[in-house]
């Protein structure tokens, strides 16, 4: 079973963040809370760790994997271009549940882009997800912590039931909102295209850009 990392008399939140980042830096896989569901985290610069994500989920390699970054400026080494449209969305919705799809930089693993040449990025508004990425100092995979085709998880216990025997640790900070996933918008085309309408509605996005 995975190590359960939770705040208690012996572990501060800072200690948990440090432990989680160390597991990731050593090529491990963790589940962690976000502002939507529990996410499945690997160091997105570690090819072997990325491969483990697909094995854990039973996921098809044709499906791309989005990333969480620590702050908006962290996108620049990861993408080819940041259009004005993207800057407006970043200013309006980051940190938050909006995944923006960019043209990926050459350094991005094709496992993450599924060979599409595009990468989805967001800055999480969840303090734990944000804290882990900032401790790791590298982008973190942000796919949901569940088996492909199974329900997304809002509690650590649900993660443990589905994939607990396949991962190294679960950061247990209670329930997540879990109403919908992040909204995904592709800004590599004009006008941008919403690939998945999630927590942030199309109507809300239309207040900031034309789609």
Residue 169 lies in a domain: yes
Q: Which residues of the chain have pLDDT under 70?
A: none
Q: For the chain, how many structural domains are there in total? A: 1
pLDDT at position 179 is 84
- Among 92, 121, 50, which residue's Cα sits nearest to residue 204? 92
Residue 158 lies in a domain: yes
pLDDT at position 22 is 98
Host domain of residue 159: 3-205
pLDDT at position 9 is 85
Q: Is 164 helix (H, G, I), strand (E, B) or coil?
A: helix
Is residue 68 a contact partner of residue 38, using CB atoms and an 8 Å limit? no
Q: Encoding tokens for residue 185?
A: 């918008």
Residue 61 lies in a domain: yes
d(CA 19, CA 24): 9
What pTM was estimated for this model as a whole?
0.95
pLDDT at position 67 is 98
């Amino acid at each position: 079973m995975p190590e359960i990392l939770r705040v208690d008399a012996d572990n501060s939140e800072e200690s948990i963040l440090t432990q989680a980042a160390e597991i990731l830096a050593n090529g491990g896989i963790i589940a962690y809370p976000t502002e939507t569901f529990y996410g499945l985290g690997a160091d997105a610069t570690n090819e072997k760790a990325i491969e483990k994500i697909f094995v854990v989920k039973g996921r098809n390699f044709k499906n791309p994997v989005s990333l969480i970054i620590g702050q908006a400026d962290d996108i620049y080494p990861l993408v080819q271009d940041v259009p004005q449209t993207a800057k407006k969305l970043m200013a309006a919705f980051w940190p938050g549940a909006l995944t923006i799809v960019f043209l990926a930089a050459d350094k991005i693993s094709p496992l993450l882009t599924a060979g599409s040449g595009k990468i989805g990025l967001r800055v999480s508004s969840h303090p734990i997800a944000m804290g882990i990425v900032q401790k790791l100092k590298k982008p973190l995979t942000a796919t949901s912590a569940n088996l492909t085709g199974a329900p997304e998880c809002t509690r650590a216990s649900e993660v443990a039931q589905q994939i607990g025997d396949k991962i190294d640790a679960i950061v247990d900070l209670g329930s997540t909102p879990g109403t919908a996933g992040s909204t995904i918008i592709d800004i590599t085309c004009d006008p941008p295209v919403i690939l998945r309408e999630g927590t942030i509605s199309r109507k809300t996005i239309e207040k900031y850009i034309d789609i």
